[in-house]
Amino acid sequence: MKKYYLLLFMLGIGQLFGQAILNQSIPATLGANSTLRAPNGLTSHTTIRAHYMIYPSELTALPIGAQIVSVGFVYVNGVNTNASGNLKFYLENSTATSNTKSTTWTTAITGMDTLYDGAYSIPISTTPTTSTITLSDTFVYTGNGIQVAYDYLGSTFASVAATYDCNNSVSGDLKLVTSTSTTPGAVLTGSSSWRPGLYIGYINPFTNDMSVDALIVDAGHPNKVIDTTRTYAGIVRNKSQSTLSSIPVTLEITGANPSVTVQTIPSLAAGASQTLIFTGLSGANSGTQSVKLSVPSDQFTNNDSIVLGQSINCDTLSWADNSVPYTAIGFNTGSGILAAKHTASSGVNTSVKSIYVNIDGNTNITGNQLQAVLLDTGGAIIDSSAVVTVAASQLNTRVNMPLTGNNLITTANPEFYIGIRQYANATVGYFPISSHNPSTVPTDRYYGFGLAGGTPSAPYTTLGTLGIGAIIEVEPITLSSSVANDSICEGDAVTFTASGTSSALYNFKSSGTSVQNSASTVYTTSPTASISMTVEGEYNTCPILSNTKTTTLVVIDSSANKLTDSTATATMSGANYQWIDCGTGMAVPGATSQVFLAPVSGNYQVAVSLYSCSDTSSCYSFIVPVSSINETTIESLKIFPSPSESILTVTTDAILITNISILDIKGRVVWNSSPLNSRSTIDVSSLKSGVYLITVSTEKGKETRRFIKQ
């Protein structure tokens, strides 16, 4: 696994440096490692010659005029047994913007200062360490770049190679040649991007120099759901030749949550460092902000401050900010899970919706497979995303990987890991995850797992701040209603109830319009139309949404339309029907269809029901023709008026009327007469209001018609 170590930084531990000599690593940023670019103690590297550039942008922490008196390599690990030989070491101030030195060794070192030529032992160590050689002459840094060269001839050898901390940000900058022979190569035939880091010592020129060595923000993307207060840590160091007193250290935040906090160090000895903790600062407002830790301007201003960014919101969660990455981390040809540990809110359940990763730009990553995984506090995998095959277009981008399940992180078990599963490529190793500043992080943030999860590794504190984050949501509010089938009858009331966490108000909204915004979790209404209800709450000013609850208003149309004298249809479709005899108030057996055929003449109504709602129509008159009457048509027959209140007139234009009968709607004769003329008047005032049949018999035939008595 690629990793690096910032040896001068130990969070929470004061560290003394000699007043006379100051030490630091160059280039300023390391982060890669290699066993092949410097003396590694194996016979395969019996000889090695190499040169490379360190550029001005990588030397900003080194004061111009610094007198370098010692130098060494920065090791991830040393050898296992004694490995030594002769080392020649060269430096040169250079204005070059790339390593243009000759690949012919004698030409390349011409004009360079030979600062060491003597015995060199590679450290025996399984942990990070440094080596130091005292230069035979002082090298004065003039403020541009530094050209480095070294020539090593081994005499004793180990079986485990030393590993060097390197910077790999400049493609092909290192030129080298190695050999198993004791005769070194005359021409540097190889090149590499891995430039070994140097650990230099220089004479302290300062009587007043405070250095900000580190700034640790609690997260690059803090999530307000989890906490609305922020904590920051910083390390400052006295790089002066003597004790300094009354040193103000300022933490200034600009942007979303502006503040200025000053802590004063009463006294700090030469070379000593002190850790300061800034707690209880507000993170209640969403947005971006810059966090700056600074000491007063002094003799060397390049180290007076560090600035880091934060982006505070309600959904994103990551230790890393949006800064440009400086290296990449991964399992090389191996496989496993790199994961960031987080603790969710203690006040509300949350859900991890997706995990994202910042992909490095190395083309070796293309075509390899990654997968997001969510693990619980014991390392068991809760959920994962689809496997992603990295495309060229995804290099140097943030790739979001939605999880497939509903992953609830409860307040009872708030710890979880968000991780990226790297599948092995035994042929071409790759390091897919971008790493950002800070370069050294507190413990309990980053861990490794096997492909299937399980017991986490020891925490990684020297891999930088990994570009792994998550999108989280608060558990939604559950909205329910008091009515069955999500329907309500016209004129009735419905009560909506919200259950779930909201730190303030519950805003009930009907079709997007607020109808009640209060601390109450219930809302009652008698709707005049169907409604779609939602509830919006909040927790730490972050919105919490509910499901949508749609309640349909059931409006019963109980009217009917007559189709013929004896048939009708209920107006409303898709309901339940029961036709009723108005005379008896009893249901007509089997009459449960929308269309009704009256069994006998009479008055009928329909009861219409849908869900739990029902209504009944008014009564309608139906006439069923009497089958015993032999009807013919009499063209001149007139019966008027209809409706009639009292007098009904019957005429036939000189055709003799032999008989007139009036029947009620059930076919019963209620009036009868034999006028024997062509015109007859009938007093119907005594008849009940309703529909009647009148049968007129003449010498030309008979005819039955209908009339209405008012």
Q: How far is CA 460 from CA 214, 341, 442, in A?
A: 18, 11, 9
Q: What are phi and psi of 107, to 5 degrees?
A: -70, -40
Based on the fold, state whether residues 121 and 55 are members of the same structural domain.
yes
| Local confidence band at 10 (pLDDT 50, 70, 90 cut-offs) | very low
CATH code of the domain containing 306: 2.60.40.10
Choice between 693 and 259, residue whose per-residue pLDDT is larger:
259
Q: How far apart are CA 371 and CA 613, in angstroms?
A: 53
Q: How far apart are CA 428 and CA 96, in angstroms?
A: 33
Query: Cα–Cα–Cα angle for 497, 498, 503, nearest 5°?
Result: 145
- Which of 153, 157, 131, 15 has its CA nearest to residue 77? 131
Q: Residues 38-78: pLDDT tens digits?
A: 999 999 999 999 999 999 999 998 999 999 999 999 998 99
Contact status, residue 484 vs residue 552, Cβ threshold 8 Å = no
Q: Residues 354-396: pLDDT tens digits?
A: 999 999 998 999 999 999 999 999 999 999 999 999 999 999 9
Q: Which residues contact 589 (CB under 8 A, 6 or more apart)?
A: none
Query: Cα–Cα–Cα angle for 451, 454, 455, nearest 5°?
Result: 125
Q: Tokens 């940000």 belong to which residue?
A: 169
Element (H, E) at 544: strand 542-545
CATH code of the domain containing 409: 2.60.120
Give strand pairing partners of 23. Answer: 201
Give strand pairing partners of 234. Answer: 215, 276
Q: What is the DSSP letter of 80?
A: S
- Locate 482 and state its tokens: 């008091």
Domain count, the chain: 6
* Residue 442 DSSP SS3: coil
**For the chain, how long is the longest CA-to-CA vector?**
156
The answer to whether residue 11 is domain-embedded is no
Q: How far is CA 465 from CA 213, 328, 420, 445, in A?
A: 16, 10, 14, 9
Domain stop point among 522, 554, 586: 554
| Local confidence band at 666 (pLDDT 50, 70, 90 cut-offs) | low
3-state secondary structure 308-374: EEEEEECCEEECCCCCCCCEEECCECCCEEEEEEEECCCCCCEEEEEEEEEECCCHHHCCCEEEEEE
- Locate 306 and state its tokens: 């560090």
Share of residues in the chain with pLDDT > 90 (%): 75
Q: Over range 214-239, report the average pLDDT.
A: 94
Residue 261 lies in domain: 210-312
Q: How far apart are CA 131 and CA 123, in angstroms?
A: 7
**What is the pLDDT, as a whole number, of residue 629?**
42
Contact status, residue 121 vs residue 86, Cβ threshold 8 Å = no
Based on the fold, state whether residues 655 and 527 are members of the same structural domain.
no
Based on the fold, state whether residues 280 and 384 are members of the same structural domain.
no
Based on the fold, state whether residues 342 and 388 are members of the same structural domain.
yes
**What is the pLDDT, as a whole number, of residue 463?**
87
Cβ neighbour number for residue 335 with a 10 Å cutoff: 16
List, edge to edge, every strand of the sheet that includes 701-709. Answer: 669-673, 657-663, 690-698, 701-709
Find how far residue 579's CA is from the centre of its chain: 58
Q: Is the pLDDT of residue 14 over 60?
A: no
CATH code of the domain containing 665: 2.60.40.1220
**What is the pLDDT, as a whole number, of residue 643?**
84
Mean pLDDT over all residues of the chain? 91
The answer to whether residue 628 is domain-embedded is no
- Locate 216 and state its tokens: 């640790």
Based on the fold, state whether residues 59 and 179 are members of the same structural domain.
yes
**What is the pLDDT, as a whole number, of residue 261?**
98
**What is the pLDDT, as a whole number, of residue 619?**
94
Q: Which residues contact 106 (CB under 8 A, 6 or more apart)?
A: 186
- Locate 255 and state its tokens: 């942007």
Q: Is 143 left (phi over 0), alpha (psi -120 to 50) or beta?
A: left
Q: How far apart are CA 136 and CA 114, in angstroms?
A: 8
- Locate 671 and state its tokens: 């009036």
**Range from 627-636, 637-646, 677-686 carrying the lowest mean pLDDT:** 627-636
| Local confidence band at 693 (pLDDT 50, 70, 90 cut-offs) | confident
Query: Cα–Cα–Cα angle for 117, 121, 125, nearest 5°?
Result: 150
**What is the pLDDT, as a whole number, of residue 689?**
80
Q: Residues 485-521: pLDDT tens digits?
A: 899 999 999 999 999 887 789 999 999 999 999 999 9
The answer to whether residue 105 is domain-embedded is yes
**What is the pLDDT, as a whole number, of residue 700?**
84
Q: How far apart are CA 355 and CA 418, in angstroms?
A: 7
Listed in order, strand segments (DSSP E) in 546-610 are 549-554, 560-562, 567-570, 576-581, 586-587, 595-597, 602-610
Radius of gyration (C-alpha) of the chain in whole angstroms: 47
The answer to whether residue 194 is domain-embedded is yes
Tell me which amino acid residue 354 is: S
Q: Is 172 left (phi over 0), alpha (psi -120 to 50) or beta?
A: left
List, edge to edge, every strand of the sheet that includes 465-466. Answer: 327-329, 433-436, 465-466
- Which of 200, 27, 191 has its CA nearest to residue 100? 191
Based on the fold, state whether residues 700 and 681 are members of the same structural domain.
yes
**What is the pLDDT, as a whole number, of residue 337?**
98
The residue length of the chain stands at: 710
The answer to whether residue 16 is domain-embedded is no
For 236-254, b where at least 16 C-beta lie within 10 A, e where not — what string?
bbbbbeeebeebebbbbbe
The answer to whether residue 517 is domain-embedded is yes
Helices (H) and strands (E) in the chain, counts: 1, 60
Find how far residue 119's CA is from the centre of its chain: 57
**What is the pLDDT, as a whole number, of residue 341?**
97
Based on the fold, state whether residues 662 and 687 are members of the same structural domain.
yes
The answer to whether residue 390 is domain-embedded is yes
Q: How far apart are CA 405 and CA 362, in angstroms?
A: 32
The answer to whether residue 156 is domain-embedded is yes
Q: Over range 463-492, report the average pLDDT.
A: 92
Q: What are phi and psi of 552, to 5 degrees?
A: -90, 125
Based on the fold, state whether residues 529 and 618 are members of the same structural domain.
no
Based on the fold, state whether residues 53 and 145 are members of the same structural domain.
yes
Cβ neighbour number for residue 61 with a 10 Å cutoff: 16
Cβ neighbour number for residue 655 with a 10 Å cutoff: 18
| Local confidence band at 626 (pLDDT 50, 70, 90 cut-offs) | low
Q: Over range 312-325, report the average pLDDT.
A: 93
Q: Which residues contact 280 (CB under 8 A, 6 or more apart)?
A: 229, 231
- Which of 420, 292, 308 has its CA nearest to residue 358? 420
- Locate 523 and state its tokens: 């809302």
**What is the pLDDT, as a whole number, of residue 509?**
97
Element (H, E) at 105: helix 105-108
Element (H, E) at 232: strand 229-238
**What is the pLDDT, as a whole number, of residue 665?**
67
Q: Over range 309-316, report the average pLDDT.
A: 95
Element (H, E) at 178: strand 174-179
| Local confidence band at 5 (pLDDT 50, 70, 90 cut-offs) | very low
Q: How far apart are CA 543 and CA 300, in angstroms?
A: 47
Based on the fold, state whether residues 223 and 362 are members of the same structural domain.
no
Domain stop point among 448, 472, 496: 472
Q: Residues 410-462: pLDDT tens digits?
A: 999 999 999 999 999 989 889 999 998 888 889 999 999 999 999 999 999 88
Dihedral sign from CA coordinates of 313, 315, 321, 322:
negative
Q: How far apart are CA 273 and CA 15, in angstroms?
A: 6
Domain stop point among 554, 581, 604: 554
Share of residues in the chain with pLDDT > 70 (%): 96
- Locate 637 and state its tokens: 């027959």
Based on the fold, state whether residues 262 and 136 are members of the same structural domain.
no
Q: Over range 340-361, report the average pLDDT.
A: 94
Based on the fold, state whether residues 572 and 595 are members of the same structural domain.
yes
